[in-house]
């Protein structure tokens, strides 16, 4: 597993750094770079490159990987703002608004969103058709019908979801807020190398299941982990009155559900060429401890 992660991660980090250097020097550029360079697991870019590798050279999808990480980073910057989760730390470092102020943090997130599409538009590895298709995916899966729509629902339902009868709403929030961006990464990588609709459907199904497994593990870690391990505040969901898998099903059943979702995800891609890379990344996503 480590070889697969390293294989893609080195390329992703180099591509991200190259894109960030092009921003030049300004307070806003520094704010954009700050959170993007805090590191993290780069799961969405890893999925993008693994999907691309099924249909061709993963390096053709590097700009797609950079773009989706910028969208993800935007969501982290905005999530940490006082109007959202009001967090002081991210990955063990002060959050963006604590370093640059709220106004610059908002602008940094907005600018990363715009820059993500600029990176794709200027990609020398993508055909004009692939650029359009990839940008459509990124817009659809991260916007109103995807990640941002899920964030909106999360805010609307805070302190309103209380027990198992609200579980379907919780699943919708998780699917839109978390899973849709995993699906976007997979589809962007596949499209970058000319995948057909059948392949895209399989990857979308896989992304849905592995995204649920990831979210259950996220809920488990929020309840059981520590600041030292995660680099951010824990037990936040309980304090905010949010419904989680452990709250509905208990910790042990949640762990069983996580493993069931992962098994289902791996079953979806069992007949896919280059299974190994996607399988290893899926396991890496779910067994993480932070």
Average pLDDT over residues 212-230: 83
Average pLDDT over residues 87-113: 96
pLDDT for residue 69 is more than 80: yes
The confidence score (pLDDT) of residue 143 equals 97
Average pLDDT over residues 220-247: 74
CA 159, 163, 166, 169 dihedral sign is positive
- Domain containing 156 — which CATH number? 1.10.600.10
> 203 or 275, which is more confident?
203
pLDDT for residue 229 is more than 60: no
Average pLDDT over residues 39-56: 93
Average pLDDT over residues 140-165: 91
The confidence score (pLDDT) of residue 48 equals 97
The dihedral region occupied by 6, where left means phi > 0, alpha psi between -120 and 50, and beta the remainder, is alpha
Average pLDDT over residues 197-225: 91
Please provide the average confidence, as pLDDT, over all residues in the chain: 91
Q: Report the number of distinct structural domains present in the chain.
A: 1
Nearest-Å Rg of the Cα atoms of the chain is: 18
Q: What band does 198 get if pLDDT is binned at 50, 70 and 90?
A: confident
The confidence score (pLDDT) of residue 239 equals 65
Q: What is the pLDDT of residues 113-135, one digit of tens each?
A: 999 999 999 999 999 999 999 99
Average pLDDT over residues 190-209: 92
CA-based nearest residue to 266, from 252, 287, 249: 287
The confidence score (pLDDT) of residue 153 equals 93
What range defines the domain where residue 54 resides?
2-286
pLDDT for residue 288 is more than 90: no
- The answer to whether the CB of 185 falls within 8 A of the CB of 138 is no
The confidence score (pLDDT) of residue 3 equals 75
Q: Which residues pair with 90 in a beta bridge?
A: 93
């Amino acid at each position: 597993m480590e070889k697969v992660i390293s294989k893609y991660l080195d390329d992703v980090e180099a591509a991200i750094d190259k894109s960030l250097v092009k921003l030049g020097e300004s307070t806003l550029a520094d704010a954009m770079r700050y959170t993007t360079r805090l590191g993290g697991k780069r799961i969405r870019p890893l999925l993008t490159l693994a999907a691309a590798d099924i249909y061709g050279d993963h390096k053709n999808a590097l700009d797609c990987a950079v773009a989706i990480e910028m969208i993800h980073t935007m969501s982290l910057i905005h999530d940490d703002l006082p109007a959202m989760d009001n967090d002081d730390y991210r990955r063990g470092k002060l959050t963006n608004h604590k370093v640059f102020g709220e106004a610059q943090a908002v602008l940094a997130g907005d600018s990363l969103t715009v820059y993500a599409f600029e990176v794709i538009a200027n990609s020398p590895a993508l055909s004009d058709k692939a650029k359009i298709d990839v940008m459509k995916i990124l817009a659809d899966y991260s916007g109103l019908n995807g990640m941002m729509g899920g964030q909106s629902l999360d805010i609307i339902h805070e302190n309103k979801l209380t027990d198992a009868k609200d579980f379907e709403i919780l699943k919708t929030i998780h699917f839109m807020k978390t899973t849709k961006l995993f699906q976007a990464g997979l589809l962007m990588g596949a499209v970058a190398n000319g995948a057909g609709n059948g392949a895209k459907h399989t990857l979308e199904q896989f992304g849905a299941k592995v995204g649920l497994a990831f979210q259950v593990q996220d809920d488990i870690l929020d309840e059981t982990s520590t600041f030292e391990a995660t680099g951010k505040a824990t037990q936040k969901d309980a304090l905010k009155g949010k419904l989680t898998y452990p709250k509905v099903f208990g910790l042990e059943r949640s762990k069983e559900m996580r493993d069931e979702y992962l098994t289902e995800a791996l079953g979806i891609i069992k007949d896919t060429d280059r299974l190994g890379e996607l399988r290893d990344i899926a396991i890496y996503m779910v067994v993480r401890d932070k």
